[in-house]
């Protein structure tokens, strides 16, 4: 995408319309009027099925967002031109596969057009001449075909390894200047994705997929949003440990705009079929939980229930909700499988509440609030020494403290992180998240990559849909120099947590993975995106600086380096070089690039 310079990495000018460099994918059903005239109800149901099972999950899998839906098409945006182009290829192949067996005159086919540029962005839509270009290109595409502008071709460059037909300069309706365009010649049955290899099932909802929203806190506790998040924490944990379910955590990025969430919109943006939403009212020691499970494919509510009980019964209520969900969307999953996946519960409700408060503070990445989280976690451990989650988040706290450069004694902090992580696993050897954090300590703090990979294998076997486990494992493959595997794992983590409160954390791993993979343009895209979401994460800045220098964007790198020094005034290459997690053969080049950006040696 376009390089953004200056002190405003988002590309938004104060007092002006918000503009961002994006890729636009416009898609439309071929002959929609003819299809609906012949069989209106059947066409509508088949199109809804394609949206729920192919289009929505496919767009999310390539880190895109559908910003406009029409009766017979959609408009999606992507930060990366490569992602947008890969998504178009993936969707055409998936739709062709799903429509096999239909009569030629009844088959649903899409035309697609792509363009890249700076666009006017508003919360629920996107505008600009470039949007019109994408739409006009789509209108000229053949059934099942993809037309791209020269801007897309230029952004993706040598990564395009499929035949292109140069259509020359096209005169498009209501567009003054001619637009040079290209047609992708990709047989739909064999869609070679561009760049990194991806599984054909990356974005397909072939297994039941669900997004679990934070429960809204009502009444006097309405300001305690952490408790609403915490209510679903263990539900997500249990579901994520079940093989045969795709479980996505979607939190504050799609908060309730009025009294209740728009589950249809949320489900489309998350790329899932099912949405669990709810609310909680805590009055003293009494709890009232309302929950609703919606099926987007049938546009119906499967069930809506209310649970009343005492605060001490919270974990029992969570288990009942998880069981009800599983039996509703994946009835063949055995109860024993769900029981195996359940997290070990604390004996103290106060310990549970303290951990939920600490999690809320940790990911703000602001020093004062971050520091308070440590004491909350220590208090939780004092109250319940058997509670694995308290130890796990305490270990993660020390890892972040080192990575942010806030640790006064890096070696002592590293040893403490490893001790706490090991203690969490000792208390529950089947906890996938605890195993993942333990593996991360081995990797990021001690460069013991083989041991870390073995632990991550155990973590992902225990919790195959745990977003953080995939993201943390990506880090290990980054540090040892396996860029392709690192990118694939970071993308998997981001797919499972596409826009939650911690999305900037997953983007940091994707930025790092692309750096080691040598795909520096992609690293810059995701590094900048991460900084927009949270400008205080030092690891993102370091990888962004390295990629900018690799691309020869020295001034941009120097600006990012000044931001790093603002957050971490004591940063110096001599200290960082001692614990930089990269393998030796990669570390020296990375440190040289940081030096070229003007970061101090000592």
What is the residue extent of each domain of the chain? Answer: 19-184, 209-341, 348-464, 483-602
What is the Cα–Cα distance from 467 to 497, expressed in whole angstroms?
A: 6
Predicted pLDDT of residue 16: 55
246-249 vs 209-212, strand pairing mode: parallel
Say which range, 43-47, 158-162, 256-260, 291-295, has the weakest mean pLDDT: 256-260
This prediction's pTM: 0.77
Q: Which is higher by pLDDT, 201 or 57? A: 57
- Residue environment code for 569-589, b if the CB has 16+ CB neighbours within 10 A, otherwise e: eebebeebeebbbbeeebbee
**Better-scored residue on pLDDT, 511 or 206:** 511
> Over the stretch 278-307, which tens digit does the pLDDT of each residue have?
888 888 788 888 888 888 888 888 888 888
Q: Report helix, strand or coil for 291.
A: strand
Distance in angstroms (rounded) separating the CA atoms of residues 578 and 243:
40
At 441 the pLDDT is 97
For strands 179-184 and 110-122, give the pairing: unpaired
Identify whether the C-beta of residue 257 lies closer than 8 Å to the C-beta of residue 269.
Answer: no
Fold of 348-464: 1.25.40
CATH fourth-level superfamily of 19-184 = Nucleotide cyclase, GGDEF domain (3.30.70.1230)
Banded model confidence at residue 336, pLDDT cuts 50, 70, 90: low
The predicted pLDDT at position 70 comes to 80
The Cα–Cα gap between 23 and 68 comes to 14
Do 19-184 and 209-341 come out as alike in CATH topology?
Answer: no
Q: What percent of the chain has pLDDT over 90?
A: 46
Query: 483-602: what fold?
Result: 1.25.40
- Give the pLDDT band of residue 191 (cuts 50, 70, 90): very low
d(CA 520, CA 526): 10
Per residue in 341-391, pLDDT (tens digit) is: 566 777 777 888 898 889 888 888 888 999 999 999 999 999 999 999 999
Mean pLDDT of the 247-269 span: 60
List, for residues 220-251, the tens digit of each pLDDT value: 554 456 676 667 777 777 787 776 677 876 54
Q: Does domain 209-341 have CATH number 3.40.30.10?
A: no
């Amino acid at each position: 995408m376009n390089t953004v310079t200056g002190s405003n990495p988002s590309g938004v000018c104060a007092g002006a319309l918000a503009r961002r460099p994006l890729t636009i994918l416009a898609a439309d059903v071929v002959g929609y009027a003819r299809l609906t005239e012949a069989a209106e109800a059947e066409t509508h149901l088949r199109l809804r099925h394609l949206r729920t099972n192919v289009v929505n999950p496919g767009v999310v899998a390539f880190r895109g967002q559908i910003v406009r839906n029409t009766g017979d098409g959609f408009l999606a945006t992507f930060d990366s031109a490569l992602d947008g182009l890969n998504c178009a290829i993936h969707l055409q192949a998936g739709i062709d596969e799903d429509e096999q067996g239909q009569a030629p005159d009844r088959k649903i086919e899409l035309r697609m057009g792509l363009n890249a540029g700076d666009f006017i962005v508003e919360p629920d839509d996107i505008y600009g001449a470039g949007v019109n270009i994408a739409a006009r290109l789509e209108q000229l595409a053949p059934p099942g075909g993809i037309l791209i502008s020269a801007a897309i071709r230029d952004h993706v460059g040598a990564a395009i390894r499929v035949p292109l037909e140069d259509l020359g300069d096209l005169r498009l309706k209501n567009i003054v200047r001619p637009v040079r365009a290209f047609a992708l010649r990709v047989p739909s049955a064999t869609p070679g994705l561009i760049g990194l290899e991806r599984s054909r099932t990356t974005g397909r909802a072939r297994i039941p997929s669900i997004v679990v929203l934070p429960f809204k806190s009502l009444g006097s506790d309405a300001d305690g949003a952490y408790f609403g998040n915490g209510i679903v924490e263990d539900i997500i944990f249990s579901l994520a440990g079940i093989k045969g379910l795709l479980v996505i955590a979607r939190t504050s990025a799609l908060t309730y705009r009025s009294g209740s969430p728009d589950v249809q919109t949320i489900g489309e943006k998350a790329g899932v079929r099912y949405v669990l939403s709810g609310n909680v009212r805590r009055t003293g020691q009494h709890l009232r939980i309302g929950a609703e499970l919606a099926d987007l494919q049938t546009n119906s509510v499967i069930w809506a229930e209310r649970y009343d009980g005492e605060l001490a019964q919270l974990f029992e209520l969570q288990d009942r909700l998880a069981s009800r969900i599983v039996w509703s969307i994946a009835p063949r999953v055995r109860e024993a499988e769900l029981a195996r996946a359940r997290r070990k519960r604390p004996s103290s409700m106060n310990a549970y509440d303290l951990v939920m408060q600490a999690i809320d503070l940790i990911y703000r990445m602001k020093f004062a609030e971050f520091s308070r989280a440590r004491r909350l976690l220590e208090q939780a451990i004092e109250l319940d020494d058997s509670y694995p989650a308290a130890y796990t988040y305490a270990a993660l706290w020390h890892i972040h403290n080192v990575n942010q450069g806030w640790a006064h004694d890096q070696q002592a902090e590293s040893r403490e992180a490893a001790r706490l992580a090991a203690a969490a696993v000792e208390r529950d050897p089947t906890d996938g998240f605890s195993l993942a954090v333990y593996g991360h300590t081995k990797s990021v703090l001690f460069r013991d990559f083989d041991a870390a990979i073995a632990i991550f294998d155990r973590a992902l076997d225990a919790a195959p849909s745990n977003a953080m486990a995939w993201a943390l494992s990506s880090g290990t493959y980054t540090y040892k120099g396996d860029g392709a595997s690192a990118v694939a794992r970071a993308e998997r983590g981001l797919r499972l947590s596409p826009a939650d409160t911690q999305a900037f954390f997953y983007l940091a791993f994707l930025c790092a993975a692309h750096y080691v993979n040598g795909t520096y343009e992609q690293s810059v895209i995701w590094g900048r995106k991460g900084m927009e979401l949270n400008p205080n994460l030092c690891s993102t800045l370091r990888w962004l600086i390295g990629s900018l220098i690799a691309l020869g964007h020295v001034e941009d790198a120097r600006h990012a380096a000044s931001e790093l020094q603002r957050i971490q005034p004591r940063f110096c290459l001599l200290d960082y070089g001692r614990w930089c997690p990269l393998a030796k053969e990669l570390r020296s080049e990375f440190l040289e690039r940081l030096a070229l950006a003007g970061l101090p040696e000592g």
